[in-house]
Structures are given as structure tokens and as C-alpha cells.
Amino acid sequence: MSKPLFAFQLGLGCFLAFGIISPLAAQKTPLKSHPILAHRGVHQTYAREGLERDTCTASRINPPTHAFMENTIPSLLATVALGADVIEVDVHPTTDGDFAVFHDWTLDCRTNGSGVTRTHTMAYLRGLDVGYGYTADQGASFPLRGKGLGLMVNLEEVLKALPSTQVLINIKSRDPEEGRKLAAHLARLGVRPDRVMVYGHEAPIASYLRAAGPSFRGFSKKQVADCLKSYVVWGWSGFVPKACKRSVILVPHSHTGLIWGWRSRFAKRMAKAGSQVYLVGPVPKNSQSSLAGLNDPALLKGLPEGVGVWTDAVEIIAPALAGK
């Protein structure tokens, strides 16, 4: 195996990248100039050094410059106003059959509640202060405490608040049953297939797609890894691997040099196969975090036409793209 290919595959193993697979017949994807996928939306930024999967990010925020908190409607509306085309939210099933929009597996870090998020009713979750645990000075002060009361909402409220924006829903667990529950929930709400995409671990995504039907889309890290690894080997020939078709393809900035035709042909080739390409941040070093958005405007230099941006800093990237 060549060193570049080995480095690419190793990077993929450390980096949570995703690719959408839909059973729909192949169709071209409209090639928008640079669509923005806002991961987290406008939120409190935090130090990423030494970040692990279970790190309490609310306890390491940078000094706040605004009062927006991720997964809340004020944040989502601000994100749309900045120009996001797709917004990512996280969901958890509740004990009373709803889906709460909240990032953390447990409540203890960010809120004044405790325990596993999904072991509570939606009514209980609504009563929490989602700004309770944010601190920029190791607990000496809590600048957002009291400002997040009642801001935890359900998925239906998010979809109603964003009638013209596609929502990317992150299933947090590995339970296949959760995928089926989400599909049934969206069906009850009458959600159109073009309104949502779903991503997460392979098992719940597979069950979601089976239950939701061929018009809906969902993706997992394995799918994009299969796509990119195959394309590195065969892309020189113009061949588009099956895993890359009818997909969303996320390419780390640190690996664009391994993508055949990156500067001129790749996005057009993928669009013809029904896929949208997004550039994400470089593979994180010394971090166990699952995903790095592209947050540095300097990395937008040379962004090929038709390639979108997956970012954790929409308030920085959207104006930078608008000025390109």
C-alpha cells in the first residue's frame, strides 16, 4: 500500500466523516456554488485541545460574545439569517414518545438537570435551564445561567421554526430501534423527504432508511469512508464508486490532495452522480473528537466551484464565502 493511501485511510479512521446513501434512482444534484452546512449553528465556542468524546464542552467555553446556545431555536434562526443552507441538530427519544433536541447524552454538564437525557419526559426537559453549566473561568462565573430556561424544545418545533431550511438530524445512539422510532415520528408529523437528512451510527441509520422509505436519506461514517477510499484508488479513471452515488461526501481539508480532480472535476462528477460534496476541517491532531468543521476562512482559498462547507463557525465562514 502506498504511503499516501495509507495516510488517507488512517486519517479516515480518526475522523468521523459521513456519506449519504439513498435508494432513489440516480439523479443529478443541482450544483450550488458553495452551500453551507452549519454544524451546531451559532453556539458558544470552546477550547478543542485535548477534547474527548465525553468532555463537558460547556465547562471550557471561550468568553461569550453573544447569548446563543446550540440546539435552541434562537440559535437556529440566527444561523439561517447568516445564510446557512443546512442546519444540524441532535435528538434524543424521550420516555413519553417525543424527540428532544439536545446535544449531550446526559444533562449534568450543560443544564441544572441530571441523568441520561433519554430517561426523562419532554415536560421535564422543557423545564431545565440549558445555559446553566456554561463557564469560561473554570466555574468562577456562569454568564448564561438563567438565560436558557425553557429553551430545550422538541424536533417538531424545530422543523416548524425552519420551514425553508433543510435539517440534518443526528441520532446519538447505536440502537437500531431508535432509527425506526424516528422514521415513525417524522411520518406522524408529515415531514417531506426533502426537509430532513439523518446521520449517525450505521445500525440506526440502516433501520431508519428501511422504515422511512426510499425517498428519505440517511448516512453513516462507514459509507463515506467506503466512498473516499474507493475513489482514491479508482478516481483517476473517472469511475464513481457505488458508495459515492446519491450521497453527501465530506472531504477533510488535509486530504484534498489525494482526491482525483479535486480542483476541477470532483464536485461536478459527484453532482452528476447525485451527490453534494462538503469540505470539512483538517483531521484533528491529539483529539478524540468526532468531527472538525472548517472554521478558518484562510482554508477557503481555492475552494472549487460546487463544493460546500461543513462548519462549526457559520458566523465566520458565511460572511467569508459571501465575499468570495
Q: What is the mean pLDDT of the chain?
A: 89
Q: Where are the domains of the chain?
A: 3-49+68-90+165-322
| Planar angle of CA 161, 163, 165, nearest 5 degrees | 100
Mean pLDDT of the region 44-73: 93
pTM, full prediction: 0.87
Q: Calculate the CA dihedral of residues 300, 17, 163, 147 and round it to 10 degrees.
A: -90
Q: Cell digits for 206?
A: 440502516
Cα separation, 236 vs 206, whole angstroms: 31
pLDDT higher than 90, residue 39: yes
pLDDT higher for 26 or 310? 310
pLDDT higher than 50, residue 123: yes
pLDDT higher than 90, residue 31: no
The number of helix segments (H) and strand segments (E) in the chain equals 9, 10
- Beta strands 218-220; 196-200: pairing state: parallel
pLDDT higher for 92 or 29? 92
Position 121 scores a pLDDT of 99
Position 79 scores a pLDDT of 98
Position 289 scores a pLDDT of 53
- Give residue-wise pLDDT tens across range 282-310: 987 665 555 689 999 999 999 999 999 99
Percent of the chain residues past pLDDT 70, beyond the cut: 88
Mean pLDDT of the region 63-67: 97
Q: Which fold has domain 3-49+68-90+165-322?
A: TIM Barrel (3.20.20)
pLDDT higher for 118 or 242? 118
| Planar angle of CA 82, 216, 178, nearest 5 degrees | 95
Provide the pLDDT confidence category of residue 49 given band limits of 50, 70 and 90. confident
- Cα–Cα distances (Å) from 60 to 46, 110, 112, 200, in that order, read 6, 11, 17, 25
Position 52 scores a pLDDT of 83
Best CA proximity match to 204, nearest among 110, 99, 311: 99
Cα separation, 125 vs 117, whole angstroms: 8
pLDDT higher for 24 or 294? 294
Cα separation, 217 vs 276, whole angstroms: 13
Position 292 scores a pLDDT of 84
- Give residue-wise pLDDT tens across range 133-186: 999 999 999 999 999 999 999 999 999 999 999 999 999 999 999 999 999 999
Position 7 scores a pLDDT of 46
